Amino acid sequence: MEVYVDDMLVKSKEGDHLKELKRAFEIMRAYEMKLNPCKCTFRVRGGKFLGYMVSEKGIEANPEKI
């Protein structure tokens, strides 16, 4: 799990993802953290996070900002 201020990314190996999500939700519940459902995205292999492109290959610069 990567957290930066109010942005969060849960990453895992393919077979472990549901287990990692469950663990992330348990931690959030323990600390009374809430998620905005409108800002949540599930079941994606990559996307933009904090201005970078994150994928199964790793973290890369966002081509739109180069």
User: Into how many domains does the chain fold?
Assistant: 1
Per-residue model confidence (pLDDT) at position 28: 93
Per-residue model confidence (pLDDT) at position 31: 94
Structural domain boundaries, residue 61: 2-65
Q: Residue 50's closest CA among 10, 3, 1?
A: 3
**Paired strand residues for 54:** 47, 59
Q: Which residue has the higher pLDDT, 36 or 66?
A: 36
Distance CA 27, CA 65 (A): 34
Per-residue model confidence (pLDDT) at position 4: 67
Residue 26 has pLDDT above 80, yes or no: yes
Distance CA 20, CA 23 (A): 5
The residues, any chain, with a CB within 8 Å of residue 33's CB and separated by 6 or more, are 27
**pTM metric for this prediction:** 0.69
Mind listing the pLDDT tens digit for each residue in 44-55?
888 888 888 888
Residue 32 has pLDDT above 80, yes or no: yes
The tokens for 60 are: 């890369």
Structure-token match 């599930």, residue found:
42
